[in-house]
Structure 1
């Protein structure tokens, strides 16, 4: 049972309402992506969406699947993912107690951080005006067991200045076909931020935009790593971008270093859902 509108992004922000007899709740979710084939429900594969649906069913919340701000791939984590779920009007669990009630039925790999009544016209996916990701690198000669499955181990030294120079060529509105995998949609996107944040051991690459192509973030990070390792010059990234050829860019980095880190509603600078990092 589904109450979803067509999947194309509307040109103007529409007002979305739950079906008759239902009310819409707004959730904030976090999960470890390792056990899941992604957010989206899939046949014969474990998904975060279906895991949440099962917990909702335990509480008698109705049969509508939750809708998230983004559709993460297999193995991708979420620190703070906005979502909505439509429940029957007579659903008896108050919003203030819903997070605890759902968490009692969810596995340790998924948690509801907060729940509230959704504002009128809210849609977790189509009302979203910015999505934020962070990719984590363990920049260390040796691996670390506590970061296994949480950050990509990069034993070689990285040049943060060169990576930042390359990132400057990618920020803005461009055709990102060179960084997308098997993408059938139009490939022009606005990349609002691409920032390299070095650390003593853990480096972060922050990526902000309204929407992204399939595997685009992982392709961008893979290309920046080639620059950081001295295998590409920063200026060559502009040539790769202009080529629109996926074969010219770096390989997709593994999913386990990628996190959905937060989203905005109401405008790019209006952060109503923020990562707790």
Structure 2
């Protein structure tokens, strides 16, 4: 396999530490999975993880691979539609890239699939090069549950005011301290929220969220708060007071993980989004 160029245009010295080990090339994959089957992306003892399952598939093709690295470390039960992942493999790796997704999928369960694979410049890092991450939370808006959406969307029977929800969402966009929406977070809690929009699409309402990085359970806390606004249990203008309070108890409860999807990521000048 040809080695990708070791530099990226404008790559800083900091990014040089992201290059693969000597004798290896870096691959970029797009991966999708059903979160119900996994305890999240990150490897954990005694429970299935996406990271371990994907690495296991690679080890059917070559034993000399490193740990896969994803753009985001999703929690247990969270789905992924298009998660960028990088993996370092030996230069002698013999599977042609056009056949790699199919070869890996032959060793993966039905709950996990590689959608595509390509070689990437060696300075690319799925996590640290990521300029924006996007999530979608899906809400099933029907009087009765729908079995085909079980485990795929949160069922809400009552009426929701989409205008009030979007008004509340708009007031949260920007750079703020989001401590009130995070769970057991020990990192600094200032983040830039670039997008938060409620889009009714027939029976399924989608809440789209975008930012470079998020706090633990931040997206689920934001959605839970917007649902309180939509149900008339919280005024739209109250969310700014919740934000300023920095108190998790003031915001809505975390919505269940099964309605949340990692929907995509962007990498600026380092390739496709």
Whether TM exceeds 0.5 here: the answer is yes
Distance across 2 between alignment mates of 1:239 and 1:210: 24
Q: Which residue of 1 aligns with 2:135?
A: 133
**Following TM superposition, by how much is the alpha carbon of 1:182 offset from its aligned partner in structure 2, in angstroms?**
0.4
Q: 1:89-146 CA deviation, whole Å, 9 max, x = no partner?
A: 1110011110000000000000000000012310000000000000000011110000
1:271–1:197 Cα change, 3 Å: farther
1:1-277 residue pairs with structure 2 within 5 A? 14-15=15-16, 16-60=18-62, 62-266=64-268, 272-273=272-273
Instruction: Note the residue ranges of structure 1 that are not aligned, 5 or more in a row.
Output: 1-10
Separation of aligned partners in 2, 1:271 and 1:241? 35
The equivalent residue for 1:5 is: none
The equivalent of 2:4 in structure 1 is none
1-side partners of 2:202 and 2:27: how far apart?
41
Say how many residue pairs are matched: 261
CA 1:186 to 1:226, structure 2 compared with 1: closer, same or farther past 3 Å?
same
C-alpha distance after superposition, 1:160-185 (max 9, x if no partner): 00000100111000000000000000
Kindly indicate whether the alpha-carbon contact (under 8 Å) linking 2:140 and 2:156 is maintained by their aligned counterparts in 1: yes
Shift of 1:271: 7.9
Root-mean-square deviation (Å): 1.4
Where 2:237 maps in the other structure, the secondary structure is helix
Q: TM-score, normalised by structure 1?
A: 0.92
Write the distance in 2 (CA, Å) between the matches of 1:211 and 1:246: 19
CA distance in 2, matches of 1:107, 1:181: 31
C-alpha contact 2:65 2:87 (8 A) present in aligned 1: no
Contact 2:25/2:91, CA 8 A, preserved across alignment: yes
Contact 1:149 1:257 in 2 (8 A): yes
* Matches of 1:163 and 1:61, distance apart in 2: 50
**Structure 2 stretches lacking a partner, 5+ long:** 1-11
